[in-house]
Amino acid sequence: MQNLLALLYLASAVLFILSLRGLSSPLTARRGNLYGMTGMALAVMTTFFVADSPVIWLIVAAIAAGAVVGAWKARTVAMTAMPELVAAMHSLVGLSAVLIAVAAVYHAGVSHSGVQKIELFIGAFIGAITFTASVIAYGKLSGKFGARAINFKGQHLLNLLLALTMLGFGMAYFFTDSQAAFLMMVAIALALGVTLIIPIGGADMPVVVSMLNSYSGWAAAGIGFTLENPVLIIAGACVGASGAILSYIMCKAMNRSIVSVLLGGFGAEAATAGPAGSAQKNYRSGSADDAAFLMENAEKVIIIPGYGLAVSRAQHALQELTDLLTERGVDVRYAIHPVAGRMPGHMNVLLAEAEVPYDKVFEMEEINSEFGTADVALVIGANDVVNPAAKNDPASPIYGMPILDAYKARTVMVVKRSMNAGYAGLDNDLFYMDRTMMVFGDAKKVVEEMLQAVH
């Protein structure tokens, strides 16, 4: 029986790994999701046989409630709300790790070894930090708490004192088995999650969400050791490692270091940059008809989608426009920056929802060299990822960040509601170039007007 259970857990772990592999490409994403769901169902069913006298009705009720809420949220969540939904999910993973650790500590008649105590400590404090930090990230992304960084004098010293105090209570639990010390450690970790995230501005939130994803995985892995559950260890390690790798990739795409993101400061610095001087600069504006005429008579058009496209849900109208231009012989492609939108893959999912062919969507490294031969670069709702200051202004906070070279196209058209700064709070030199034409308005309305003009 034990060999069979071990085999089932191994099968679950393999399915989780295959799931991550499948999710690495849009072409295999559906299969990856199927692998993940199958692996989770197999792991849950196997756990019923491993658990000692489980309360079946309570577990089934919890699973049913979670399934109902999850199904409802999946059907109703807007694409613009996906980043905060991911942050909310991470908070639940962290909270689960904390509750499991507390239950293990309070489990009557069970004595934990020194190694298990360390595992409980690590899993609990990472889970607690993940929980409260994810709640704050959710609030910043959704606008409920505001995206501004909150900085105050001595914040790093406060974080250090909280971390040392947390470690002290953890040591007290290790040497005395004090349940009260363990609860105090958890409480301080919850507070530390808040103080670590509030100094981080909205511009860095995508990286933070990715890091929290990694934290939640390591928390699950830590608890897996205590429960002697191999599938929890493997799944948690996969999530933790993949989240850490993704965070590194995103930081590289933003020319930032993980340490500088976690210490905060960029969001606050950027927020003061604002578009203060934009009213004194000259820019050229045009209509949707002007934009449609230029695209209709172009040979190559590169479209750069951003968060504004998601907000207005203009992706379906944009794809109709793309199809029409393609029928007229125009070569239309999409360019995706690694941190476009509010989270990695946000724009890819948005375009997939509109059934944009995968062979028309290119990553930054693949398409940047083609902007110089493009007749039109159409920027819809994107800002910071096309800001030339990243290349030519050493004083800019985003200097050195790789960008999409939209400024190299013969004509640049920017669809935007106003001249306000983007998510990082920085004015964009691209808007004031001689070859740039601003088209003001809601993205969906503007694209629909372009579509009518091309017809």
What's 318's domain CATH number? 3.40.50.1220
What pLDDT does 154 receive?
85
Q: Is there a domain that residue 73 lies in?
A: no
The domain of 162 spans 78-270
361-402 pLDDT, tens digit per residue, is 998 889 999 999 999 999 998 888 899 988 888 888 778 888
Low-confidence winner among 2-11, 69-78, 257-266 (lowest mean pLDDT)? 257-266
Range 138-167 average pLDDT: 83
Percentage above 70 pLDDT, the chain: 91
**137 confidence band (pLDDT: 50, 70, 90):** confident
Q: Residue 265: is its pLDDT beyond 60?
A: no
What pLDDT does 438 receive?
93
Range 343-360 average pLDDT: 82
Q: Residue 203: is its pLDDT beyond 80?
A: no
139 and 16 co-located in one domain:
no
What pLDDT does 424 receive?
60
27 and 45 co-located in one domain:
yes
108 and 168 co-located in one domain:
yes
Q: Is there a domain that residue 407 lies in?
A: yes
Q: With beta carbons less than 8 A apart as the criterion, state whether 256 and 397 touch.
A: no
253 and 288 co-located in one domain:
no
What pLDDT does 173 receive?
93
374 vs 335: CA distance, rounded Å: 12
324-341 pLDDT, tens digit per residue, is 999 999 999 999 988 777
Q: With beta carbons less than 8 A apart as the criterion, state whether 168 and 132 touch.
A: no
410 vs 375: CA distance, rounded Å: 5
263 and 378 co-located in one domain:
no
Rg (CA), the chain: 25
**425 confidence band (pLDDT: 50, 70, 90):** low
Range 115-126 average pLDDT: 90
Q: Is there a domain that residue 69 lies in?
A: no
Domain-ending residue, one of 231, 251, 270? 270
Quote the longest CA-to-CA distance of the chain.
Answer: 79
260 and 314 co-located in one domain:
no
Q: Is there a domain that residue 300 lies in?
A: yes
More confident: 452 or 25:
452
53 vs 222: CA distance, rounded Å: 24
Q: Is there a domain that residue 247 lies in?
A: yes
| Total count of domains within the chain | 3
Residues in the chain: 455
Q: Residue 270: is its pLDDT beyond 70?
A: no
124-133, 221-230, 253-262, 343-352: which is most confident: 124-133
What pLDDT does 151 receive?
77
**274 confidence band (pLDDT: 50, 70, 90):** very low
Range 197-215 average pLDDT: 78
20-24, 84-88, 157-161, 248-252: which is most confident: 157-161
**146 confidence band (pLDDT: 50, 70, 90):** low
For 382, list phi and psi in degrees, rounded to 5: -95, 155
What pLDDT does 450 receive?
92
Q: Is there a domain that residue 275 lies in?
A: no
18 and 107 co-located in one domain:
no
264 and 316 co-located in one domain:
no
Domain-ending residue, one of 235, 270, 305? 270
Q: How far is the CA of 229 from the CAs of 6, 134, 220, 222, in angstroms?
A: 10, 25, 10, 10
Q: Which value, to the nearest 10 degrees, does the dihedral of the CA atoms of residues 321, 322, 327, 329 take?
A: 120
337 and 366 co-located in one domain:
yes
Q: Is there a domain that residue 60 lies in?
A: no
Range 420-438 average pLDDT: 82
237 and 293 co-located in one domain:
no
**156 confidence band (pLDDT: 50, 70, 90):** confident
**Residues taking part in catalysis:** 384
What pLDDT does 26 receive?
73
What pLDDT does 266 receive?
43
Q: How far is the CA of 330 from the CAs of 15, 289, 300, in angstroms?
A: 43, 17, 6
Beta strands in 190-311 (DSSP E): 300-305
239 and 345 co-located in one domain:
no
Q: Convert 175-197 to b/e letters by CB count within 10 Å (16 or more is b).
A: eeeeeebbbbbbebbbbbbebbb
What pLDDT does 419 receive?
81
What pLDDT does 269 receive?
42
**303 confidence band (pLDDT: 50, 70, 90):** very high
Range 265-283 average pLDDT: 51
Domain-ending residue, one of 270, 301, 333? 270
Range 9-21 average pLDDT: 90
What pTM did the predictor assign? 0.74
Q: Is there a domain that residue 24 lies in?
A: yes
Percentage above 90 pLDDT, the chain: 36
Q: Over the chain, what is the mean pLDDT? A: 85
Q: Which residues contact 73 (CB under 8 A, 6 or more apart)?
A: 85
Task: Assign 408 to helix, strand or coil.
Answer: helix
Q: Which helix (H) or strand (E) holds 445?
A: helix 443-454
285 and 266 co-located in one domain:
no
Q: Residue 196: is its pLDDT beyond 80?
A: yes
Range 100-106 average pLDDT: 90
